[in-house]
Amino acid sequence: MSANEFRVERDSMGELRVPAQALWGAQTQRAVQNFPLSGIPMPRGFIRALGLVKWAAAGVNLDLGDIDKVRGFAIQKAALEVAEGRHDAHFPVDVFQTGSGTSSNMNANEVIARLATQYSDGTPVHPNDHVNRSQSSNDVIPTVIHVGAALAIAEHLLPALKELSQTLGRKAADVGETVKTGRTHLMDAMPLTLAQEMGAWRTQVDDGIARLQGTRSRLHSLALGGTAVGTGINAPPEFAARAAALLSRQTGLDLRPSRDFFASLAAQDTAVELSGQLRTLAVSLMKISNDLRWMNSGPLAGLGEIALPALQPGSSIMPGKVNPVVPEAVTMVAAQVIGNDVTVTVAGQSGAFQLNVMLPVIAYNLLQSIDLLANAAHVLARSAIAGFAVNPRQIAGALARNPMLVTALTPVIGYDLAAAIAKRALAEGRPLREVAAEMTDLGEGRLAKLLDPADLTRGGVRHGRLGD
């Protein structure tokens, strides 16, 4: 760049050249130069929440008379533009930066101050004195983590999970009466219905929703008002409650000040808790996806119980091959979220006295996990579960040959004889009922009743008792 493409900005450390068209100032430029680490800027959800926090803070300072109307209104206008994503190109600070997130906080302060100066007809707006008034990076960034995550959960993740749950319910209603072979240890086991199998998946999803709902009350607790170390130095006593009220009105969330600012600055336990819930949800989606992959396997040499929608060619060398691409993609999402949880856990314990020093990476991983899981739930519901077809012939054939149906006979003939029947049926490749008829005196009619697969899915003890 030529000299004309730069301007000179000043901060407490002196002068620095900044790109002429950049909205940021010297402190942001120092961060850009200091942290050329990943090339990954803070995510959209973080910038949105940061803009909202600055908007609310300006509103309180304006109401309390701590900043004048010209500056206050200008700051609020600029902050909302930041929240809306109109200036994301001017937030270049790397995720891996100063651990308090001071660089990102000052990035917002500088961008908003420059915009607000324009909107106030040249009345100078200072990044620290006006935009950051009554705040510290140490309470702003923890607040942004909570607000950003809470918005992403409410607007993105919970609706996606509810869609997945409802899709599972509708699919179970359509195909659920089908009786199939159960499997434990990947080995044949007693029968169940598709509705029972899919109901377990739905319960996993619903339990994930409940876990997230349980965490939300703590997520809605905000550090804003604690300022530097939790004492609230340089912030009016009523600032925290007023700011939380404004943020609640703007976001639709039920936000409130933390009951202990010291804990909210020093620890990130709620973020760690939330990450754990996201990890558990990832485990659930991986289990569901792997079950779908197994059920879809084949079409000739695998289980072949279902056929997932054919979405794309599966091989660059094997013509006609179609793979379970959506469940595979979801398992990769799950693996990423599980890894993110490890990062958040390590970061969460990295507080020292009054401040955690890994706030930006906590924010990044939390928001990424929420977005990934929401997208995965949508895709799994729409492109895998809603459209799979059941292969009743394959299911019925496997069920008829299942030697584990003999379990229903054990209350009547005993474990040892039942085991002998199962082994013989398997060794000779014959139907279980046929072998049982030869090795017991139960008769065809009673065997048919005792070994009815549909009846077996309802549990209970078979009619009759040992020795009859």
Q: Are residues 154 and 47 in the same domain?
A: no
Distances (CA, A) of 185 to 188, 226, 426: 8, 53, 18
3-state secondary structure of 436: helix
Q: Is the pLDDT of residue 468 over 90?
A: no
424 phi/psi in degrees, rounded to 5: -70, -45
Q: Are residues 289 and 380 in the same domain?
A: yes
Q: Are residues 210 and 282 in the same domain?
A: yes
Q: Is the pLDDT of residue 464 over 60?
A: no
Please compute the mean of the pLDDT values over residues 269-275 and round it to a whole number: 98
Q: Is the pLDDT of residue 465 over 80?
A: no
Residue 115 lies in a domain: yes
* pLDDT averaged over every residue in the chain: 95
Instruction: Indicate the length of the chain as a whole number.
Output: 468
pLDDT in the model for residue 422: 93
Measured between alpha carbons, how far is 108 from 114 in angstroms, rounded to an integer? 10
Residue where a domain stops, chosen among 334, 361, 391: 391
Please compute the mean of the pLDDT values over residues 351-369 and round it to a whole number: 97
Cα 262 from chain centroid (whole Å): 28
Catalytic residue among 38, 217, 315, 463: 315
Q: What is the CA radius of gyration of the chain?
A: 30
Domain count for the chain, please give it: 3
Please compute the mean of the pLDDT values over residues 116-133 and round it to a whole number: 96
> 256-257 and 221-222 as β-strands: parallel, antiparallel, unpaired?
parallel
pTM: 0.95
> 355-356 and 351-352 as β-strands: parallel, antiparallel, unpaired?
antiparallel
Identify which of 48, 49, 54, 51 has the alpha carbon closest to the alpha carbon of residue 72. 54
Instruction: Provide the pLDDT confidence category of residue 1 given band limits of 50, 70 and 90.
Output: low
Catalytic residue list contains 315: yes
Catalytic residue list contains 185: yes
The domain that holds 416 is classified in CATH as 1.10.40.30
Identify which of 75, 229, 52 has the alpha carbon closest to the alpha carbon of residue 139. 229
> Do residues 345 and 260 lie in contact, with contact meaning Cβ atoms separated by under 8 Å?
no
Strand boundaries in 75-209, DSSP class E = 179-184, 187-193
Q: Are residues 155 and 291 in the same domain?
A: yes
Tell me the two tokens of residue 301. 């040499």
Q: How many CB atoms lie within 10 A of CB 455?
A: 15
List, for residues 146-193, the tens digit of each pLDDT value.
Answer: 999 999 999 999 999 999 999 999 999 999 999 999 999 999 999 999
Q: Are residues 423 and 378 in the same domain?
A: no
List, for residues 59-87, the tens digit of each pLDDT value.
Answer: 999 999 999 999 999 999 999 999 999 99
**Can you give the residue range of the structural domain that contains 153?**
142-181+202-391
Q: Is the pLDDT of residue 323 over 90?
A: yes
How many CA atoms does the CB half-sphere of 36 hold within 13 Å? Answer: 2
Q: Are residues 129 and 216 in the same domain?
A: no
Q: Are residues 290 and 333 in the same domain?
A: yes
Identify which of 148, 143, 101 has the alpha carbon closest to the alpha carbon of residue 256. 143
Residue where a domain stops, chosen among 341, 372, 391: 391
pLDDT in the model for residue 140: 98
Measured between alpha carbons, how far is 268 from 143 in angstroms, rounded to an integer? 11
**At a CB cut-off of 8 Å and minimum separation 6, what does 274 contact?**
149, 212, 215, 219, 366
**At a CB cut-off of 8 Å and minimum separation 6, what does 393 contact?**
none
Catalytic residue among 185, 248, 383, 463: 185
**At a CB cut-off of 8 Å and minimum separation 6, what does 146 contact?**
219, 220, 221, 222, 223, 270, 271
List, for residues 213-227, the tens digit of each pLDDT value.
Answer: 999 999 999 999 999
Identify which of 105, 91, 88 has the alpha carbon closest to the alpha carbon of residue 144. 105
Residue 464 lies in a domain: no
> Do residues 273 and 218 lie in contact, with contact meaning Cβ atoms separated by under 8 Å?
yes
Instruction: Provide the pLDDT confidence category of residue 119 given band limits of 50, 70 and 90.
Output: very high
Tell me the two tokens of residue 129. 């004195």
pLDDT in the model for residue 13: 93
> Do residues 47 and 55 lie in contact, with contact meaning Cβ atoms separated by under 8 Å?
no
**At a CB cut-off of 8 Å and minimum separation 6, what does 461 contact?**
411
Identify which of 22, 44, 136, 39 has the alpha carbon closest to the alpha carbon of residue 93. 39
Distances (CA, A) of 175 to 93, 161, 232, 443: 51, 21, 59, 33
List, for residues 132-147, the tens digit of each pLDDT value.
Answer: 999 999 999 999 999 9
pLDDT in the model for residue 431: 87
pLDDT in the model for residue 400: 87
Q: Is the pLDDT of residue 463 over 80?
A: no
Q: Are residues 290 and 424 in the same domain?
A: no
Residue 386 lies in a domain: yes
pLDDT in the model for residue 38: 98
Q: Are residues 273 and 405 in the same domain?
A: no
Q: Are residues 214 and 311 in the same domain?
A: yes
Q: Are residues 104 and 146 in the same domain?
A: no
> 14-19 and 6-11 as β-strands: parallel, antiparallel, unpaired?
antiparallel
Residue 244 lies in a domain: yes
List, for residues 361-414, the tens digit of each pLDDT value.
Answer: 999 999 999 999 999 999 999 999 999 999 999 999 999 889 999 999 999 999
